[in-house]
């Protein structure tokens, strides 16, 4: 065997040893701490942990449109108002509690709150006993407002917007079904306003 053959044989042996080492299961499964595979695995683990934490820390509710919202007071208030506004134009029906049958004022209020995770039912004078009393100045979107006279409570509405200059509500009226009214500019509603109730802040 000449020198060239010896060199070739030695090279072949070294090459075969390298191939065996690089294809071994242990070597093939090794990943550097800077490898993209390791980063992807780490990101997936963090993502799952973050989602689990978010889900456990919040109370999940689903509104009529199928959107999921979480039960902080501000998001709950927004969800209630948005749900209520979706039914603007729905017909009035005495004793009505669903969009299909039509709504009366307490039926509408109960339906909207129930859809947003706060089971609620009963006539307006029963709803007026729930939650915490609020003055007109302190009302926030999602609060309930009650109307009537010295002898009885005759109507309930949901606050949709309140600023220093205006108070708007969404409610089921006998004259036009579900609609938005600006209470602050209506002599009819202003003269009948009694008080507000907050059923949300303690949720």
* Domain extent at residue 69: 62-198
Say yes or no to pLDDT of 159 above 80.
yes
Percent of the chain clearing pLDDT 90 (strictly above)? 60
- Confirm whether 154 is domain-assigned: yes
pTM over 0.75: no
- Confirm whether 174 is domain-assigned: yes
Alpha helix positions (H), 25-104: 25-29, 36-57, 73-86
- Confirm whether 7 is domain-assigned: no
- Confirm whether 100 is domain-assigned: yes
Q: Indicate the DSSP class of residue 91.
A: P
pLDDT tens per residue, range 95-153: 999 999 999 999 999 999 999 999 999 999 999 999 999 999 999 999 999 999 989 99
Nearest to 89 by CA among 168, 146, 170, 160: 170
Report d(CA 124, CA 107) in Å as an integer.
9
Q: Does 40 or 15 have the greater pLDDT score? A: 15
- Confirm whether 110 is domain-assigned: yes
Task: Please count the structural domains in the chain.
Answer: 1
Say yes or no to pLDDT of 27 above 80.
no
- Confirm whether 97 is domain-assigned: yes
pLDDT tens per residue, range 48-92: 333 222 222 233 444 444 443 445 889 999 999 999 999 999 999
* Residue pair 142/82 in contact by the 8 Å Cβ criterion: no
- Confirm whether 164 is domain-assigned: yes
- Confirm whether 41 is domain-assigned: no
The pLDDT of residue 73: 85
For residue 101, CA distances in Å to 34, 97, 108, 113, 115 come to: 63, 7, 11, 18, 16
The encoded tokens of residue 32 equal: 């550097």
CATH number, domain of 94, equals 3.90.1720.10
């Amino acid at each position: 065997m000449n020198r060239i053959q010896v060199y070739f044989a030695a090279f072949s042996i070294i090459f075969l040893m390298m191939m065996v080492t690089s294809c071994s299961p242990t070597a093939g499964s090794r990943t550097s701490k800077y490898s993209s595979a390791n980063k992807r695995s780490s990101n997936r683990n963090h993502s799952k942990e973050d989602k689990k934490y978010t889900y456990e820390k919040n109370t999940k509710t689903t509104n009529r449109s199928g959107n999921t919202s979480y039960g902080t007071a501000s998001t709950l208030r927004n969800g209630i108002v948005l749900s209520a506004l979706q039914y603007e134009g729905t017909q009035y029906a005495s004793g009505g509690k669903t969009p299909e049958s039509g709504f009366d004022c307490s039926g509408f209020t109960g339906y909207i709150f129930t859809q947003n995770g706060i089971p609620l039912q009963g006539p307006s004078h029963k709803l007026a006993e729930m939650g915490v009393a609020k003055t007109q100045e302190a009302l926030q979107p999602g609060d309930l407002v009650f109307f009537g006279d010295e002898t009885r409570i005759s109507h309930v509405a949901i606050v949709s917007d309140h600023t220093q200059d205006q108070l708007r509500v969404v409610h089921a009226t006998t004259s036009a079904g579900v609609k938005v009214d600006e209470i602050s500019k209506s002599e009819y509603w202003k003269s009948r306003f009694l008080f507000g109730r907050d059923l949300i802040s303690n949720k």
